[in-house]
Amino acid sequence: MLIHKIRPQGYCKGVVNALNKTLLIRKENPQEDIYLLNMLVHNKQVMDYLLSLGIKLINGDKIQALSNIHKGIIITSAHGTPSHILDYIKERKLTLIDTTCYHVQANMDIIINKLKEKKIIYLGVKGHPEAEATLSISDNIFLIENIKDLEKLNKEINYAFISQTTISLLQIKEITNYITNNFKNVEIINGQCQATYLRQKAVLDIKEEYDLIIVVGDENSSNGLKLFQLAKNKGNAIYISSYKQLNETIKTLNKIAITSAASTPAYLVEQVINYLKGEEIKELNLI
Ligand code: SF4
């Protein structure tokens, strides 16, 4: 069987930064209670590892949960945090470690600047932490997920358009085409991060035919799911979080390509390859 690893894939700089910061905080503060405000990154195996170090995940209503914490270190996720929650942590004088990825922060800074003169059309995923953090900036940011949402907006006023960092290239193209043809005055800003762009472009650029493209990612990973959408345009594709979801019939295929989300540890991909080759499954380092 020929197995092609699509490159680049796996951890982006934002994930590495968030993980390194969190592990260092754990190491330097062995006695402190440490809390993650959300999934640090969207990967279950990474989260299980962090929880195994005694780090706690805050579930449910953040403000209510924080009101019951009197001492400890609060770590935000790489995807950003709504401003009212950051303000509350500071107000409560809890120690705050912000791991927001600089691409996410850069997009929010652009939006804050553009809001001085226009409203914002924001292409994002409803309920995703990055979208929630961005929408918390102002009521003049309109979240859209598709063209139907765009149709509800006043087309005569001035806007800037920007997307969440992990949106699909094809979706951005579809939406910007619609905006250009139907709205009067919209400044188009590229919001996709470099890591997402390069991983998606590598899938879009696939020239050879494969029996199957495997995308390894977590069910919560926005960039992983977008990679999967693009992979499906190229032929047969599956989205898995672990080699354990595969079965023996896959070993009858001749050509397989494999890629992974920006929050997928490399060892999960190696395990998939071990499985496909009939090798012993190695437990590798998460970081
Ligand atoms: S996918 Fe992009 S925006 Fe998200 S953490 Fe990685 S580099 Fe940052």
Looking up residue 66, the CATH number of its domain turns out to be 3.40.50.11270
Q: Among the atoms of ligand 1, which is closest to the Cα of residue 41?
A: 5
The CATH number covering residue 134 comes to 3.40.1010.20
pLDDT recorded at residue 282 = 85
- Domain hosting residue 39, numbered range: 13-101
- Say how many Å lie between the CA of residue 68 and the centre of ligand 1: 31
- Say how many Å lie between the CA of residue 262 and the centre of ligand 1: 7
Q: Which of 192, 221, 238 is at the close of a domain?
A: 192
First to last CA, the chain: 29
Question: Residue of the nearest CA to atom 5 in ligand 1?
Answer: 14
The residue type found at 214 is: I
Strand arrangement of the beta sheet that strand 158-163 belongs to: 141-144, 119-123, 158-163, 185-188
Q: Is 189 left (phi over 0), alpha (psi -120 to 50) or beta?
A: beta
Q: What is the mean pLDDT of each run of 10 residues along the chain (287 residues)?
A: 95 95 97 95 92 94 96 95 96 96 97 98 96 97 98 96 95 97 97 96 96 96 93 96 96 97 95 96 75
Please enumerate in sequence order all residues whose Cβ is within 8 A of that of 71, keeping only pairs 6 or more positions apart, or say none. 33, 94
Whether residue 282 lies inside any domain: the answer is no
Residues 73, 22 within the same domain: yes
pLDDT recorded at residue 113 = 98
Q: What is the pTM of this model?
A: 0.91
| Polymer length in residues for the chain | 287
Structural domains counted in the chain:
3
- Determine the residue of 39, 104, 198 to mutate for testing ligand 1's pocket, defined as the one with the most ligand atoms within 8 A of the Cβ atom: 104
Whether residue 116 lies inside any domain: the answer is yes
Residues 64, 82 within the same domain: yes
Whether residue 283 lies inside any domain: the answer is no
Structure tokens at 145: 């997920």
**Quick count: other Cβ atoms within 10 Å of Cβ 81?**
24
Q: Do the beta carbons of residue 49 and residue 137 sit within 8 Å?
A: no
- Say how many Å lie between the CA of residue 69 and the centre of ligand 1: 29
Q: Among the atoms of ligand 1, which is closest to the Cα of residue 262?
A: 1
Count the helices and strands in the chain (H runs, E runs): 11, 12
Distance set, CA 59 to CA 56, 128, 163, 199, 284 (Å): 9, 15, 27, 31, 29
pLDDT recorded at residue 10 = 87
Q: Which residue carries 């990474």 as its tokens? A: 46
pLDDT recorded at residue 283 = 80
pLDDT recorded at residue 287 = 64
Whether residue 179 lies inside any domain: the answer is yes
Is 130 one of the annotated active-site residues of the chain? yes
Question: Residue of the nearest CA to atom 4 in ligand 1?
Answer: 14
